[in-house]
Amino acid sequence: MSLVQIYDTTLRDGSQAEGIAFSCEDKIKITLSLDKMGFHYIEGGWPGSNPKDMQFFKQIRGHALKTARLAAFGPTRKAGESTENDPNVRSILESGAQVATIFGKSWDFHVRKALGVSLEENLAMIRDTIAYLKSCGLEVICDAEHFFDGYKANPAYALETVRMAKEGGASTIVLCDTNGGSLPMEVKEIVALVVERFNIPVGIHAHNDCEMAVANSLMAVQAGAVHVQGTVNGYGERCGNANLCSIIPNLTLKCGVDTIPRENLVRLTELSRYVSEVANLSPYTHQPYVGASAFAHKGGVHVSALLKDSKSYEHIDPELVGNRRRVLVSELSGKSNLLYKYKELNLQVDQQSSEGKRILEEIKKLENQGFQFEGAEGSFELLLRKANNEYTEPFSLETLRLLVEVKGNGPPYSEAIIKMKVGDKTVHTAAEGNGPVNALDNALRKALESFYPRIKSMHLSDYKVRVLDEKDGTGAVVRVHIETGDGRRSWGTVGVSENIIEASWQALADSIAYGLL
């Protein structure tokens, strides 16, 4: 098989996921990123369903796409109406899209219950809509909605809908597992039958309700499908859609099937995280291939083997998809983990000395107190550098005072007064904030920015507090985790104390100190 076309529907199907609401500008940003990756089709939305999607199609005309063809989504004409007067059909033409993706019912149950029309009228709706749009110069893709459920209920009718789509002039028939309930062996058998019976390109559109969307897509390709639809990160309604961030590397690296240009595969992790950012969602760290934990190793035995050969516990080189190997250090770690981190940081250590063992014991002691370095690699690197005498503190705290004042029902007032040593100079300053931690952060930055202007580019992106001993109530030990970024990369730091301000200070100070390395 020479090529499988990748059709992205993040902007339409992906936006139906709970918690996602793309603006028009968001959709344009994602479109340009997908085009840069070399995707073959990008579904911009359903222009007949809402003004924002039509606005997107109008605004995207100002951007020249290099590789992708833009598709507008919509239903077949309404029953008993002419195709040329149907508002959804007209909106597709007005969108200016090169491709029309038309969904038609292929399950007789849906035809009778959802559409409320005869089986014969539904067939005419499919054929007429595709034929009209094709006559207007568009490429037309037919999404055979609920095809697998329809085939299992009434094979003859489901196949007849495919015949009508082909007769109308569709370029590709996409078989949709709309409810996401089919299994790989069913998909493979049914797709193979359609491919054999109809001399037309066949595609797959899978949903993930049984967590089979990726597997079903791969089985469809194995059965002869040459077109795969899905979304970045698997975003979509209910349990999501087929995840293109898994499908593309599986097809390319495992199955030897061409999809997007091979040289663009190294930007897959970047794409995944960029779309997460635009969607205002935290990246799923355990996502295969592109997740931050996809190539993270914690067990000492695993890391010992990795040092000898990475293939011992990695199914691919993470750099192939733009990801990276991470070795974690915790109470489960051994000397191999520590040795790996030293090598990663270009720090010298004598493997035979007791230094490594001492540092490892210190780490385990800190973790027993509540520290967790898995998501706080900034704090961990500082710890190693201090232990290795290869680090000079950029600043040190002398005194810190926090004032929190509440007057009646008014908002609380917070002020941090801080005295610090920077080199041979003493800095004494104060700052306000909308809370004690914000005031502390503002005061720290105010004291240091004249010495280290780079701090202006560092921004706190996440602040989390976890109570470690709930039974101790308000006197419990808390762990504060901070995520900081500078526009190019991000890093985590951690602080632990019975006093939330002290824990916050530890994490804040580490975040600035690490950013200055």
* pLDDT interval class at 264 (50, 70, 90): very high
What is the dotted CATH code of the domain comprising 5-278?
A: 3.20.20.70
* pLDDT interval class at 378 (50, 70, 90): confident
Query: pLDDT digits over 54-72, tens only?
Result: 999 999 999 999 999 999 9
pLDDT (average), residues 359-373: 73
Lowest-confidence pick of 18-22, 225-229, 242-246, 295-299: 295-299
**Structural contact between residues 128 and 83, judged by C-beta atoms closer than 8 angstroms:** yes
* pLDDT interval class at 412 (50, 70, 90): confident
pLDDT surpasses 80 at 165: yes
* pLDDT interval class at 113 (50, 70, 90): very high
Q: Among all chains, which residue has been given the structure tokens 């500008």? A: 25
**What are the Cα distances from residue 152, in Å, to 106, 182, 190, 284?**
11, 10, 9, 34
The pLDDT of residue 348 is 66
Secondary structure (DSSP) of 101-143: EEEEE--HHHIIIII---HHHHHHHHHHHHHHHHHTT-EEEEE
The pLDDT of residue 300 is 64
* pLDDT interval class at 352 (50, 70, 90): low
The CATH number of 396-515, from 3.30.160.270, 3.20.20.70, 1.10.10.10, 2.30.30.140, is 3.30.160.270
User: Helix 500-515 crosses helix 436-448 at what angle (to 10 degrees)?
Assistant: 30
Distance separating alpha carbons of residues 182 and 207, to the nearest angstrom: 9
The pLDDT of residue 287 is 96
pLDDT surpasses 80 at 364: no
**Alpha-helical regions (H) of 237-334:** 244-249, 268-278, 300-308
pLDDT (average), residues 289-311: 77
**Other Cβ atoms closer than 10 A to 78:** 17
Residue type, 13: D
* pLDDT interval class at 44 (50, 70, 90): very high
pLDDT (average), residues 400-428: 89
* Three-state DSSP state, 496: strand
The pLDDT of residue 248 is 98
Element (H, E) at 444: helix 436-448
The pLDDT of residue 357 is 67
pLDDT (average), residues 276-281: 89
* pLDDT interval class at 459 (50, 70, 90): confident
Query: pLDDT digits over 76-89, tens only?
Result: 999 989 999 999 99
Query: pLDDT digits over 167-185, tens only?
Result: 999 999 999 999 999 999 9
The pLDDT of residue 468 is 78
- Looking at the chain, the whole-number percentage of residues with pLDDT higher than 70 is 91
The pLDDT of residue 355 is 63
The pLDDT of residue 446 is 93
Residues of the chain with CATH 3.20.20.70: 5-278
Query: pLDDT digits over 213-251, tens only?
Result: 999 999 999 999 999 999 999 999 999 999 999 999 999
pLDDT surpasses 60 at 331: no
Query: pLDDT digits over 31-41, tens only?
Result: 999 999 999 99
The pLDDT of residue 354 is 64
* pLDDT interval class at 427 (50, 70, 90): very high
pLDDT (average), residues 327-345: 64
Residues of the chain with CATH 3.30.160.270: 396-515
pLDDT (average), residues 90-94: 97
Query: pLDDT digits over 463-491, tens only?
Result: 888 887 766 666 688 889 888 888 778 88
User: Helix 119-135 crosses helix 87-95 at what angle (to 10 degrees)?
Assistant: 30
The pLDDT of residue 99 is 98
The pLDDT of residue 335 is 60
Distance separating alpha carbons of residues 318 and 320, to the nearest angstrom: 5
pLDDT (average), residues 186-190: 98
Lowest-confidence pick of 145-154, 200-209, 419-428: 419-428
Secondary structure (DSSP) of 349-376: --TTSSHHHHHHHHHHHHHHHT---TT-
- Looking at the chain, the whole-number percentage of residues with pLDDT higher than 90 is 66
pLDDT surpasses 60 at 137: yes
Choose between 1 and 414: higher pLDDT. 414
Helix count and strand count (H, E) for the chain: 17, 16
Q: Mean pLDDT highest for which of 301-315, 372-386, 394-408?
A: 394-408
